[in-house]
Chains A and B, each alone.
Chain A
């Protein structure tokens, strides 16, 4: 589902954001990407969304090679990818309903389709009673759940999450994690970059640790800390 092959990326001379990175993620996996700030987590996610191109190497996502993908194909590629972020990226002048429906409107879906899909999705994230609120009337956790609804409404093959719990208290963080797990159980591959030690340690999923742009560790059922092998 995701394959990164000997990817190099640097923004400045001699300063690698990613250096000789290779990894392979199968369909339906749930993967944490951990590492200190500046270790290359965000760069990795930006490459997977094709917001950046690698300097060298190949990036395969959902069967497409991104480093050579022409620009006009990118929007169509992104429709297969859901993404959520630490800062939610909701539109402040649109209601919850419209924010979620926006993802369908933008790809040319009919009004009727939107009217049936959005409430289902809001039901799933538990916000069906707040569909007419605006983002700033919601708590951080609720806003992130709206963002998840928007990211998942196209049933993407892959969900990318860039520190989705970074701005949330523990309780809300766990609600969000619960949703991501549910989404993962539907067969969607989830890749989540995070700093949250507690979550990584207790979920016991695959952990990829980045350090200075290089993959330092890749283990199944791993923990956050400089891990002793699990099993």
Chain B
């Protein structure tokens, strides 16, 4: 059955205008909740990038010289095996290290260009039985031939991991609640709109309008609300990201200096935000219309 585009556009824009205050409320709720959801996703990405070196409880990093010989490397390895304080360790060769480096420096293409794989130091990632032993164990290797540098797990990283995980949890929870309330609000907006038009819906049914014919303008209305809200939210996410970057660079906040978000992450977040907006808006209205279509 042909549904004329003109009819749908006329109906949808008419509905949106008639209920403009409610529409605005729905749009704003969606925008705020999606902006929060998006920002928390970015935060999560940033934290996991910044702390990828320290994943799995690694407390000690032993960087070898990029040109360290195989003997030098195996000496360190044998020594690590023999030490009773060490729980476990693994070796990151140059290829893997370079991948990690690329991931960490994704926002600094200049640096990426100037460094080749052969310049990257391979490293041992060490987990200790007792973390407080890190300085003493580290000092054993500091002067070893072929070792470039030894890096302890800094307490700050731990604290940051801990704090951000709590913050993330709170933000995601808040965003979820707001998303639900946005859905309910849209549901209500559409319900009010359709209630005020139930006579019209009854007449439409009487003269043989299909359910989709009645439903589509309402669903489109919800979709427009969701989309507008999502666009506002997407703008806000970009803004938050830019502000964060500015603060980090401008005030030289060292703890956050390797807290990085790639443009790919930002793009994916925006895609998520827009998709969620459309889904929440459209599905909400489809659900609201349902009960008026019976009979």
Contacts and interface: CB of A to CB of B under 8 A. Distances in A.
B202 interface: yes
Interface string B156-173: 000000000000000000
A132 interface: no
A106 B200 CA distance: 11
B207 A91 contact: no
B44 interface: no
A75 B3 contact: no
A107 B208 contact: yes
Interface string B217-237: 000000000000000000000
A107 B203 contact: no
Report the interface size class on chain B.
10 to 19
A9 to B, nearest CB: 15
A72 interface: yes
Contacts of A76: 208, 210
A89 B206 contact: yes
B200 A91 contact: yes
B201 to A, nearest CB: 11
B207 A108 contact: no
Interface in B168-220: 199-200, 202-211, 213
B203 A89 contact: yes
A72 B210 contact: yes
Contacts of B208: 75-79, 103, 106-107, 154
B140 interface: no
A16 interface: no
Nearest to B214: A106
B7 A91 contact: no
Given A105-B7, A106-B213, A83 B199 contact: no
B2 interface: yes
A79 B203 CA distance: 12
B211 A108 contact: no
A106 B207 contact: yes
A134 interface: no
Interface in B1-51: 1-4, 7
A195 interface: no
A57 to B, nearest CB: 20
A102 interface: yes
Nearest to A84: B206
Given A91-B199, A91-B200, A108-B4, A72 B211 contact: yes
Contacts of B253: none
Contact of A107 (B1, B199, B200, B295): B1
Contacts of A83: 206
A204 B203 CA distance: 32
A102 B202 CA distance: 13
Contact of A51 (B199, B207, B295): B295
Interface of A: 49, 51, 71-72, 75-79, 83, 89-92, 102-103, 105-108, 150, 154
18 contacts: A49-B206, A71-B211, A75-B211, A77-B208, A78-B208, A79-B207, A83-B206, A89-B199, A90-B203, A91-B199, A102-B204, A103-B207, A107-B207, A108-B1, A108-B2, A108-B4, A108-B213, A154-B207
Given A78-B207, A79-B207, A89-B203, 20 more contacts: A49-B206, A51-B295, A71-B211, A72-B211, A75-B205, A75-B209, A75-B210, A75-B213, A77-B208, A78-B205, A79-B208, A83-B206, A90-B203, A102-B204, A102-B207, A105-B4, A106-B204, A106-B207, A154-B207, A154-B208
Q: Which 5 A-B pairs have the closest CB atoms?
A: A79-B208, A78-B208, A106-B209, A103-B207, A108-B2
Interface of B: 1-4, 7, 199-200, 202-211, 213, 295
